[in-house]
Structure 1
Amino acid sequence: MNPLSRRDLLKLAANATLLTALPFQRAIAQASGQLVAATPYGIPQVILARALEDPSVQELIPKRELKAWKDPDQLRAWLARAEVMLTATPTNVAANLYNRGVPLVLMNVNVWGTLGMLGLKEEGPLQSVKDLAGRHVGVPWRGDMPDLVFRYLLGKAGLEVGRDLKVSYQSSPFETVQMFVAQRLDAAVLPEPMRTATRLQAAQFGQLPTELDLQEEWARLTGEIKGLPQAGVVCRRELLDQYPEQVAVIQGAIRRAVDWVAAKPNDAAVVGSQNSPLSTKVFEGAIPRTQIRMASAAESRPQLESFFSALTDLSSGFIGGKLPDNDFYLPETATKAEGKA
């Protein structure tokens, strides 16, 4: 296979911040009936590309367009200015914007785990967080979801940064990847598909990293079921109020797209490579390592509130200072008209 270029990794890194969860869509222009969707590169893009071709969406919204967003700030601006009416987003970003007064409604959660670790094989097994004792770990995005999840797990495992292990922060996943591949780190915290891209790049240098699934560690250390409610889809309140049928049909299309990606990962990997600079090999590795399932906002609420509460103890600004109220969650009655394939 061809090694990933620095340019490809930069593109992936630029889009990976929200893959700790992952946005996908851009907007429905009500006047023209056009659905414009925005997405980062990665599995959310695969899901949305599939959902936009759903027969029920084609029938209801003939004009559809899929675009890639450049960075989280652009997404926030689109939402705030109502240029985006429907988007995938990390759940904490959605909650934060809602608590700042942006009229958003969470429709569903469909990404339940992208986070993991890679470790240098020569440092020994990486079967639990406790195995990190004595190691130097790299983490991108200080204070963001990967960092908070990692620090929460360290605390649960009884490890203290500085005493038991060294942690250094990098400004981007690309920097973390480069340091890990150069063996300047013993381990690295990374979301998918960056983790798979890193593993494949390391293989070019004869390295075979060890891996640790942080969703499994969360379940083991907290006693909760496996899966972190990391990302889902939100719409602006006016879209739901004015076009409830569109929201219901899109919800159904996303549900079927999620099921298709999970059931046919090789086919989904081809779709992913057709819509991004990432290779089929990257998607083939990333999809099985990402926990995806469709759950409505109401179904997800107990886990969301548990997740938010745990990480808010480490960073009060994580969700904007408080748990979102009832209006943040799409009512179950709003999805009864989900379109049929």
Structure 2
Amino acid sequence: MNRREFMQLAAGSTLLSALPLRPLFAQSKDRLAAATPFGLPQVILARALEDPQVTALIAERELRTWKDPDQLRAWLARAEIMLTATPTNVAANLYNRGVPLVLMNVNVWGTLGLLGLADKGPLRKIEDLAGRHVGVPWRGDMPDLVFRYLLGKAGLEVGRDVKVSYQSSPFETVQMYVAQRLDAAVLPEPLRTATRLQSMQFGQQPRELDLQREWARLAGGPSLLPQAGVLCRRELLESAPEQVEALQAAIGRAVDWVAREPESAAQLGADNSPLSKPVYEGAIARTALKMVPAQQAKPELEAFFSALAELSSGFIGGGLPDADFYL
């Protein structure tokens, strides 16, 4: 991503935040409003919504892009969307707070990483961040929760050992890191790849640390975390179960297609966002993608939610979701 592309992306994010709320997209048996963040979840859902089995059942399909988890929460709470890609902790939090939804699947199992300025020293493990200033987007959401959990496991305390500042979006974190106003940045894909490529254009060679591997080292278990998936409002499941079944199967095929045809998937991503095809190619290579139905992923999800609840049970809405949460 060159400087022009980055500025376009940052401007697009600012524009999204300034826009008024969209009018309600009328929901019916042949219409579906869905939502997704930028990145690979957008590629997966865009592909799935054009699957022949889905288009045969749903004639009109709208795919919105949410700018931050707060906007997603508002859309879901007001039933402006019926289907969305989402961080799994957001899904659990909303469910526990009374939003009628069902988690359909988990398909992103590793997307978070740290980039660090080379002149600040090695970045081989989380403990190397002692004494550094780290930028984190979306306080209280997935990047922050995973990062803070790892700091605690490593025996590091925010404020005492590590300076942490929060930004309202990953785009702001990227800007501050590239300007070297941060020593390191926690970023999801594809912005992690985009930032690495842009830093190299400015003559920087960033250090990089995979947070999923650090989780495995510090907490045990595999380096796979059930970070994001797709949910639907319960009305869709109850009124059109055949649509949910078709969407679930189409999402599985879309995930397989991204892994099987990364160049085509990267082009689809570039066609639907300001990020370039090389950025998406790098992101696909650095993200663990696997579609697992929510019921099958329940043990991993409960272990993950329990770990996040060690920071505060409020991050998942007070406790583990009950059985009705899982499709």
User: Is the TM-score greater than 0.5?
Assistant: yes
Q: Which residue of 1 aligns with 2:21?
A: none
Looking at structure 2, the residues matched to 204 and 9 of structure 1 have their Cα atoms a distance apart, in angstroms, of 18
Q: Is structure 2 residue 8 aligned with structure 1 residue 7?
A: yes
Q: Which residue of 1 aligns with 2:89?
A: 92
Looking at structure 2, the residues matched to 296 and 140 of structure 1 have their Cα atoms a distance apart, in angstroms, of 28
Deviations 1:49-99 (A, max 9, x none): 111221211222233333323443332232222221222111111111111
Q: 1:111 aligns with which of 99, 108, 111?
A: 108
Q: Which residue of 2 aligns with 1:293?
A: 290
**1:206 Cα deviation after fit:** 0.7
SS at match of 1:321: coil
Letter in 1 for 2:197: L
Q: Is structure 2 residue 53 aligned with structure 1 residue 29?
A: no
Q: 1:38 aligns with which of 19, 24, 35?
A: 35
Q: Which residue of 1 aligns with 2:299?
A: 302
- Contact conserved, 2:33 with 2:80, CA < 8 A, in 1? no
Q: Which residue of 1 aligns with 2:146?
A: 149
**1:144 Cα deviation after fit:** 2.1
**1:110 Cα deviation after fit:** 0.6
Q: 2:257 aligns with which of 256, 260, 280?
A: 260
SS at match of 1:207: coil
Looking at structure 2, the residues matched to 126 and 280 of structure 1 have their Cα atoms a distance apart, in angstroms, of 28
Q: 1:233 aligns with which of 226, 230, 242?
A: 230
**1:214 Cα deviation after fit:** 0.2
- Contact conserved, 1:14 with 1:71, CA < 8 A, in 2? no
Q: 2:320 aligns with which of 315, 319, 323?
A: 323
Looking at structure 2, the residues matched to 137 and 39 of structure 1 have their Cα atoms a distance apart, in angstroms, of 27
Looking at structure 1, the residues matched to 85 and 136 of structure 2 have their Cα atoms a distance apart, in angstroms, of 24
SS at match of 2:287: coil
Looking at structure 2, the residues matched to 141 and 71 of structure 1 have their Cα atoms a distance apart, in angstroms, of 8
Q: Which residue of 2 aligns with 1:20?
A: none
Q: Which residue of 1 aligns with 2:53?
A: 56
What are the within-5 Å matches in structure 2 for residues 64-213 of structure 1?
64-213=61-210
- Contact conserved, 1:258 with 1:294, CA < 8 A, in 2? yes
Looking at structure 2, the residues matched to 43 and 27 of structure 1 have their Cα atoms a distance apart, in angstroms, of 24
Gap runs ≥5 in structure 1: 16-25, 331-341
Gap runs ≥5 in structure 2: 17-23
Cα 1:73–1:222 change in 2 (3 A) is: closer
Looking at structure 2, the residues matched to 206 and 320 of structure 1 have their Cα atoms a distance apart, in angstroms, of 44
- Contact conserved, 1:13 with 1:174, CA < 8 A, in 2? no
- Contact conserved, 1:13 with 1:172, CA < 8 A, in 2? no
Looking at structure 2, the residues matched to 112 and 80 of structure 1 have their Cα atoms a distance apart, in angstroms, of 26
**1:14 Cα deviation after fit:** 8.6
**1:163 Cα deviation after fit:** 3.6
Letter in 2 for 1:110: N
Q: Which residue of 2 aligns with 1:245?
A: 242
Cα 1:226–1:275 change in 2 (3 A) is: same
**1:294 Cα deviation after fit:** 0.4
- Contact conserved, 1:113 with 1:215, CA < 8 A, in 2? yes
Q: Which residue of 2 aligns with 1:274?
A: 271
* Number of equivalences: 320
- Contact conserved, 1:40 with 1:68, CA < 8 A, in 2? yes
Looking at structure 2, the residues matched to 186 and 119 of structure 1 have their Cα atoms a distance apart, in angstroms, of 6
- Contact conserved, 1:196 with 1:286, CA < 8 A, in 2? yes
Looking at structure 1, the residues matched to 156 and 236 of structure 2 have their Cα atoms a distance apart, in angstroms, of 46
- Contact conserved, 2:8 with 2:274, CA < 8 A, in 1? no
Cα 1:233–1:14 change in 2 (3 A) is: farther
